[in-house]
């Protein structure tokens, strides 16, 4: 069995920055209640580490950021790397909360692009329904139209001076397919894809893999960029893929039939979790010893 570490993988600069902001906020405000509006990044281990540090993490699959804010009455509110709409900002200010904004600069750039274009026309935003980044962008203006699947094109009426842009963590292949459909309907549209560099180079690293049996992605199932890595693996012709959160979920029988296994991780996955997975697989490949750790390492 051969184990290949895919490079690059793991934390992107936006996630490193967001976690640094959270840790700094905790250190500098020992006696202030701190709430986080959603998961700082889509990784359960990171969120649990935040909770252990005393942060109240507000998360609900059917509630918007605006609705989640109802539960915060005092202290500090942290906005996550995915960004928020102006309405969330205004509501937090209206409640007298101290705002700590960990929005990734790449997401902020998409906000700026969309906000500027809405002054002169409509925006077709290719993104995931119910994803917080899409919620933040769609909250900019009624001129932003979410395109999550081809069916959404049917409901868009006549558009003025349309711009097509994308969520930062999409599969570049899925985005290209939806962009092509949009251009068919609105050939005059300007195209400005916003898939970030971190996402692009992690996906390209998989597209460039040669003759791999299995792609193992270490990441949270709620992480869009982790799920996309599995999809990119399929598009690259890799016949099998597994998405798991950490080494405790490894089962020997899932790996026995493969000759060449490539291991990557989502940009929200703590590197220590991926290292544990790699240690288990390499130990088996080199020494035929399958030993899964009993505990997960500390995240912060």
Report the interface residues with ligand SF4, using CB under 6 A. 12-15, 81, 104, 106-107, 168-169, 196, 198-199, 225, 267
Closer of 47 and 198 to ligand SF4 (Cβ): 198
Cα Rg of the chain (Å, integer): 21
Smallest separation, CB 15 to ligand SF4 (Å): 5
Closer of 146 and 247 to ligand SF4 (Cβ): 146
Residue 20 class from Cβ within 10 Å (0-12 exposed, 13-18 middle, 19+ buried)? exposed
Closer of 84 and 104 to ligand SF4 (Cβ): 104
Host H or E run for residue 261? strand 260-265
Smallest separation, CB 162 to ligand SF4 (Å): 23
Smallest separation, CB 11 to ligand SF4 (Å): 8
Concerning whether 28 is annotated as a catalytic residue, the answer is no
Helix H segments across 36-195?
A: 44-52, 65-68, 86-94, 105-118, 132-138, 151-154, 172-185
Measure the CA–CA gap between 104 and 94, rounded to whole angstroms: 24
Residue 150 Cα distances to 143, 176, 177, 253, angstroms:
19, 12, 9, 39
Catalytic residue, candidates 133, 135, 194, 245? 133
Measure the CA–CA gap between 122 and 118, rounded to whole angstroms: 6
Smallest separation, CB 286 to ligand SF4 (Å): 33
Closer of 17 and 282 to ligand SF4 (Cβ): 17
Smallest separation, CB 268 to ligand SF4 (Å): 8
Residue 217 class from Cβ within 10 Å (0-12 exposed, 13-18 middle, 19+ buried)? buried
Position of minimal CB gap to ligand SF4: 14
Instruction: Tell me which residues are annotated as active site.
Output: 133
């Amino acid at each position: 069995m051969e184990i290949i570490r895919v490079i690059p993988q793991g934390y992107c600069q936006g996630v490193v920055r967001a976690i640094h902001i959270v840790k700094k906020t905790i250190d500098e405000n020992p006696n202030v209640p701190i709430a986080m509006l959603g998961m700082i990044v889509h990784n359960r281990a990171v969120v649990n580490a935040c909770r252990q540090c005393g942060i109240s993490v507000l998360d609900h699959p059917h509630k918007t950021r605006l609705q989640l804010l109802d539960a915060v009455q005092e202290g500090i509110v942290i906005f996550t790397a995915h960004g928020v709409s102006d309405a969330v900002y205004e509501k937090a200010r209206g409640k007298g909360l101290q705002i700590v904004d960990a929005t990734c600069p790449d997401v902020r750039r998409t906000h700026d692009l969309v906000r500027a274009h809405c002054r002169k026309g409509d925006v077709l935003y290719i993104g995931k329904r119910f994803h917080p980044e899409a919620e933040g962008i769609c909250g900019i203006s009624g001129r932003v139209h979410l395109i999550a699947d081809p069916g959404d094109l049917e409901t868009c009426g006549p558009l003025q001076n349309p711009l097509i842009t994308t969520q930062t963590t999409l599969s570049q292949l899925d985005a290209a397919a939806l962009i092509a459909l949009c251009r068919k309907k609105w050939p005059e549209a300007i195209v400005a894809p916003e898939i970030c560099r971190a996402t692009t180079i992690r996906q390209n690293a998989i597209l460039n893999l040669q003759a791999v049996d299995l792609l193992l992605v270490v990441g949270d199932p709620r992480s869009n960029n982790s799920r996309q890595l599995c999809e990119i693996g399929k598009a690259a012709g890799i016949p099998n893929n597994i998405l798991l959160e950490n080494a405790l979920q490894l089962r020997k029988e899932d790996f026995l039939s493969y000759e060449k296994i490539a291991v990557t991780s989502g940009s929200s996955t703590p590197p220590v979790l991926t290292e544990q997975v790699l240690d288990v697989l390499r130990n088996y490949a080199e020494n035929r010893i399958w030993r899964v750790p009993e505990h997960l390492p500390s995240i912060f």
